[in-house]
Amino acid sequence: TEQLLQKSEKLALVGQMAAGLAHEIRNPLTSIKGFIQLFKSNYNRNEYYDLVLAELDRINLILGEFLVLAKPTAVIFKETNIKTIIKDVVTLVNTQSILNNVQIFVEFDTNIPPVSCEENQLKQVFINIIKNAIEAMPTGGIIEVKVNVKSESEITISIVDQGIGIPAERLQTLGEPFYTTKEKGTGLGLMTCFKIIENHNGHIHVTSEVNQGTTFEVILPTLTHSYSSV
């Protein structure tokens, strides 16, 4: 019965996600249809042209985030130094942080043990979390990224911001698809993060205080303990 329950829960989740996806995509499709109808009757087409492109980009973004999850899990895990991943990610988000008046400080414990991971997926996780941290500080601030040895078998990557925070009642439901407080948000980033970290036998722990800031802790098993934990 336990397995059956899990299966029906999974099916319910798939249905819920499909419904959400359909809803999110119908909105831009409806506007595209409207703009195209205007093309016919209006000679001033240029102003609608960019709007149509923007709506198509939006559909592409939503589907792109979804595809990360839908991809068959033929991912290859490799021994990886988390330090390299974090440094690459910080370089990647550098432009966005500068534009938003955000400084990122990175700190590593000495002798961080290697992890077993799919590098691009892990990068995706840290890019998402750091982008959210930047977006949580509309007037700028500081983000600290710390990599610590938690125990013999685990490391912790903490991302600490000084942003708007997350209300307590939203903390438990974080990672639900399509939950967003942003005008241009998709509400799919964290769901992807949780899924990827789960696939790595790790977990994510979030603490937050409204108007003080938020800390995302990503806990990952070290290479030598990656397989024994299942």
Residue 159 to residues 82, 99, 129, 134, 145, Cα–Cα distance (Å): 14, 19, 8, 11, 5
Contacts of 8 (CB under 8 A, 6+ apart): none
Span near ligand ADP by CB under 6 A; candidates 13-21, 55-63, 73-81, 126-134: 126-134
**Among 116, 121, 124, 132, contact with Mg ion (rule: CB under 5 A):** 132
Other Cβ atoms less than 10 A from the Cβ of 177: the count is: 21
Picking from 212, 213, 214, 164, the residue whose alpha carbon sits closest to that of residue 204 is 214
Q: Cβ of residue 128: shortest distance to Mg ion, in angstroms?
A: 5
Round to whole Å and give the CA distance between 154 and 160.
19
Q: Are 148 and 86 in contact (CB under 8 A)?
A: no
Please identify, among the stretches 48-56, 65-73, 86-94, 126-134, the one whose residues bind Mg ion according to the rule CB under 5 A.
126-134
Specify the residue, 201 or 207, whose C-beta has the smaller distance to ligand ADP.
207
Q: Contacts with ligand ADP in 147-176 (CB under 6 A)?
A: 161, 163-166
In the list 24, 35, 117, 187, the residue contacting ligand ADP (rule: CB under 6 A) is 187
Please give the sequence-ordered ranges of beta strands (E in DSSP) within the chain, or none if there are none. 78-80, 102-108, 115-117, 141-149, 154-160, 203-209, 213-221
Applying CB under 6 A, which part among 25-33, 39-47, 85-93, 178-186 lies near ligand ADP? 178-186
Give how many residues touch Mg ion by CB under 5 A: 2
CB-wise, 132 or 222, nearer to ligand ADP?
132
Tell me which residues touch ligand ADP (CB under 6 A): 128, 132-133, 136, 161, 163-166, 179-182, 185-190, 214
